[in-house]
Amino acid sequence: MKADTDLRGEIALARHLATCAFSSTIKRGSKQPWLALLALILLVVPGTSLTSQGQPPDQAPRPARSRSDEMLDRWNDIGNKLIALAQDFPEDKYDFKVQKDERTFAQNLLHAAALDFVLIRRVSGSTLGPDFGEGDNPSRDVFKTKADVVKFVQEAVAGGAQVIQQQGDAGLDKTSMFFGNRLAHNSSIWRFAIEHGGEHYGQLVVYYRANNLVPPDSRR
């Protein structure tokens, strides 16, 4: 096969260059012994090629999943990261913030989940989720404990996943009311929500580091 021939050619070329480098290095003496070592490694290790590190040339790639499955994967990925932060961060630090004019740790989670619900309701045309008042900045008076906040974030992630699964690929092509009094494709709205969640995840990681704590995802 052509791919095998190309691979053998790359290996032969690499060995030829390595031999030249090794011979040249030995002639110059030991001023640069690392070059000789590198040349020896290239000579000894068979198949030193970028091509050989990938899939076998005769193995076809797996087919792409449906667009809704791919969207669901991205939604759950950032959602589960936020849930992990909410569950892991000490409750006595839930009202911590790095600067006085920004949201606390708990307020960041509440805002991210509330905005998710705002968008979920627009896409689904329902009132899915609990009552958290107007806007997308719920009061800590409503979500007083860590358990309350964790549950709210979990409900938002589960609610979005449910709608994405129920609507499928066709739902991504439909339009819903977006910010700025305009319609947008649901696929764009979901991407906006995922990006928004990622932004707040990054901010909460800073809160972790400011308290000399390691975020859950960094411990794996």
Check whether residue 79 and residue 169 sit in a common domain: yes
Q: What is the CA radius of gyration of the chain?
A: 27
Say if 189 falls within a structural domain: yes
DSSP structural state of residue 2: H
Say if 61 falls within a structural domain: no
pLDDT digits (tens, 9 = 90+) for 24-36: 444 444 445 544 4
pLDDT digits (tens, 9 = 90+) for 73-96: 999 999 999 999 999 999 999 999
The secondary element (H helix, E strand) that includes residue 185 is strand 182-185
Check whether residue 75 and residue 170 sit in a common domain: yes
For the chain, counts of helices (H) and of strands (E)? 6, 2
pLDDT digits (tens, 9 = 90+) for 166-213: 999 999 999 999 999 999 999 999 999 999 999 999 999 999 999 999
Least confident of 5-19, 140-154, 168-182: 5-19
Specify the number of domains making up the chain. Answer: 2
Check whether residue 109 and residue 160 sit in a common domain: yes
SS3 of 182, please? Answer: strand
